[in-house]
Chains A and B, each alone.
Chain A
Amino acid sequence: MVHIFWWVIFPYITLTIMILGLLYRYAFRQLSWAAPSTEIFEKKWLKIGSPLFHWGIIIAFIGHVMGMVIPHDFYLSIGVSDHLYHIGAIAGGGLAGLMVVAGLIILLIRKATIDPVRVHATFADFFTVLMLIFVAGTGTYMTLIYNTTVVAYEYRETIGPWFRSLFTLTPAYGLMTGVPLIFKIHVASAFALFASIPFTKLVHIFSFPVRYPARAPQQYRHRSNYRRQGL
């Protein structure tokens, strides 16, 4: 029953909150949808912390796609041995994790100590940073310490298939029963973080301007029917 809650009910509830929340905010709270930069107040610490965190988390995201979305069999079929995979995952993931955690700590200190930044930081801002530190911290610990001192855990046989099963609506919660506790904490806290996304500044993840390079530099807009002939 506990397993059903944590690995079926909880992920679906959090993902539902995330998706409905995002849709609601996109439709009705468009004015609040922005990447709330505080660069205008402080640049020195931001210059180190923000790129460190953001690039780190982009690498980490790619790593999670490689570990969670791409099946174990695929790696074997293209000749990537488990040993080789784990070396890559520990090195790449470890580096990304350290970047993320270091960046977040710099940003947290900045948020707490630079007056104008602190004054305008909301509960949601601190919650987001602390939550990210927790999730990224457990992830980095798993990658760098657990994997090297206890066992290079083969999550591609348990967590990966379980994660994919969520999206086919056939949650294989049984796969999660034997997963080490630190991994379970990492996964559950990440889902809790997902649920908070619509209510925090994290919404800006979904507005990364990918279309910008392909767009015409100058933008014209006109009133409706302005060009209608014969008027």
Chain B
Amino acid sequence: MRIKAQVAMVMHLDKCIGCHTCSVTCKNTWTNRSGTEYMWFNNVETRPGPGYPRRWEDTDRYKGGWKLHNGELKLRAGGPITKLANIFYNPNMAKLDEFYEPWTYDYDNLIHSPKSENLPVARPVSQITGEYIDKPEWGSNWDDDLAGGSEIVPLDPNVEKLQEHIQMEYEKTFMMYLPRICEHCLNPSCVASCPAGALYKRDEDGIVLVDHDACRGWRFCQNGCPYHKVYYNWKTHKAEKCNFCYPRTEAGLPTICSETCVGRIRYIGVVLYDADKVKAAASVEDPQDLYEAQLGCFLDPFDPEIQEKAREHGINDAWLEAAKESPVYKMAMKWKIALPLHPEYRTLPMVWYVPPLSPIMNHITNEDELNTDGYIPAVDQMRIPVEYLASILSAGDTNVIRKVLLKLTAMRVYMRGKTVGGIDEFRQSELVTQAATSPEEIEDMARLLGIAKYNERFVIPTGRREMDDDLYEQQGTCSLEELAPREGVNPAYGYMKVRENL
């Protein structure tokens, strides 16, 4: 057993209002430089839709993630030898157009245009070539709120998989938001795709980062990530990606996307997992078993034996306490209401999603007379087809989605019952049995999903700076980059070398 800690996120999709505040604050923090204009470490997609970059879920085309080949886990785009053979031209890499050509506006013209009959306009200017763009044809959220409708929606690879025809008349169609960041996977395929070994997973918190000194711009990570969350900076020729705002999480603060989330949909916490189980979990035969296999990697933070082992592996008490309070552990592992995005990519992603309940009660016009079990058929007739959610969150297994939706519905019915009556009926109902829950669990869930405050939603232990060398020497020098000792200096050469002899 090799215990590691992972900082992970849950997003509660029911609460996402699609305001893009997360994307904007993320952009202003990380990608507002030239070379990164087209990058959105955080983006919010309207689904159904092709997403960003367009059709990123089309694994036949971009060849992201892993596949099982004769029972062995292989990169879908090919192993190291294939990659070195394709290093001069990567056939699977997306072009900029697949994201979009970023542009700004010629604002100066508004102020300095000569006197004319018509109002001056600010024409769009490409941020790549500096030329005017007469007609921008795609942008980061061009299809926001189903704009483009019946022409754009069929481009969604999940829609292609669905057998049934999707209603596209606006009064009948469905829509949901899917905010996406890097998944900080347990089995990241971007890391395995990097010929230079520049991408790595941090041992202490599982954050996946790019070492820009080591990155040589071989660009296999861009399409090696099935979520398309590693980007190629055309100016520095290095890879860039979401870094889980590690300077913030190290200080115990949530990522900027979570901090600024208007709907408070995001939760951050620590989970403990057994790194020795990861490979086997990612290699199970049936893609629909991947979700359960991934859950099998996580460890119970309340188990004293696990705690003891974790301490042996260098995880300290602050992190163990945080793991007990972790909202991610509660939602994803304990209550099982949060699901991984596209588990079939076999990367064991660590950003989890509580599926949306849809405007479920559209169906129910007689709620006052409805008995509790009357809600069960409503779950099966959700406006967002269960098959669609399953295609995104459970490798097509509708049972997994149904269970979660039943639980969320049970929560809704119970909490409603507390106000308008009917709790006794609820306790006896088929709904509570099918949802496999209890009033006690529901009360906990309702608190975390509904009214949890900042320090319940974000349980983030601070970074492990106490492990650093020469903290005494470093004090007061941190902002003077050249003066401060380099991080990770070998203690044999550092101030504390005497300690080695004690």
Whole-angstrom CA separation of A41 from B99 in the bound complex: 11
B169 to chain A, nearest CB (A): 38
> A31 — nearest CB in chain B belongs to which residue?
B212
Residues of chain B within 8 A (CB-CB) of A220 are: 200-203
Which stretch (B20-28, B112-120, B351-359, B465-473) binds chain A? B465-473
Instruction: Flag if A212 contacts B80 (CB, 8 Å).
Output: yes
Once A35-B237, A209-B196 are accepted as A-B contacts, the answer to whether A55 and B88 lie under 8 Å apart by CB is yes
Residues of chain A within 8 A (CB-CB) of B84 are: 209, 212-213
Is B90 positioned at the interface, with any CB of A under 8 Å from its CB?
yes
Q: Which of B95, B194, B203, B469 sits near A40, CB closer than 8 Å?
A: B95
Which stretch (B156-164, B228-236, B323-331) binds chain A? B228-236
Whole-angstrom CA separation of A217 from B129 in the bound complex: 37
A125 to chain B, nearest CB (A): 12
Whole-angstrom CA separation of A40 from B187 in the bound complex: 26
Residues of chain B within 8 A (CB-CB) of A224 are: 467-469, 487-491
Is A83 positioned at the interface, with any CB of B under 8 Å from its CB?
no
Residues of chain A within 8 A (CB-CB) of B201 are: 218-221
Instruction: Flag if A221 contacts B200 (CB, 8 Å).
Output: yes
Q: Can you name 19 A-B residue pairings with CB atoms under 8 Å?
A: A31-B213, A34-B215, A34-B236, A36-B237, A37-B217, A39-B93, A116-B128, A209-B87, A209-B197, A212-B80, A212-B195, A219-B200, A221-B201, A222-B203, A222-B204, A223-B467, A224-B487, A225-B467, A228-B467
- Residue of A46, A211, A219 ringed by the most chain B CB atoms within 10 A: A219
Q: How many residues of chain B are within 8 Å of chain A by beta carbon?
A: 58
Whole-angstrom CA separation of A198 from B217 in the bound complex: 17
Whole-angstrom CA separation of A19 from B280 in the bound complex: 47
Q: Is the interface of B mostly helix, strand, loop or mixed?
A: loop
Whole-angstrom CA separation of A39 from B97 in the bound complex: 12
Residues of chain B within 8 A (CB-CB) of A3 are: none
Instruction: Flag if A35 contacts B129 (CB, 8 Å).
Output: no
B487 to chain A, nearest CB (A): 7
- Residue of B129, B187, B200, B236 ringed by the most chain A CB atoms within 10 A: B129
Instruction: Flag if B204 contacts A218 (CB, 8 Å).
Output: no
A204 to chain B, nearest CB (A): 6
Is B400 positioned at the interface, with any CB of A under 8 Å from its CB?
no
Residues of chain B within 8 A (CB-CB) of A211 are: 197
Residues of chain B within 8 A (CB-CB) of A33 are: 216
Is B314 positioned at the interface, with any CB of A under 8 Å from its CB?
yes
Is A170 positioned at the interface, with any CB of B under 8 Å from its CB?
no
A128 to chain B, nearest CB (A): 15
Instruction: Flag if B217 contacts A51 (CB, 8 Å).
Output: no
Whole-angstrom CA separation of A225 from B213 in the bound complex: 22
Instruction: Flag if B234 contacts A41 (CB, 8 Å).
Output: yes
Q: Which of B202, B236, B491 sits near A31, CB closer than 8 Å?
A: B236
Instruction: Flag if B217 contacts A219 (CB, 8 Å).
Output: no
Closest 7 CB pairs of A and B: A222-B203, A209-B195, A34-B217, A217-B192, A224-B488, A213-B80, A34-B237
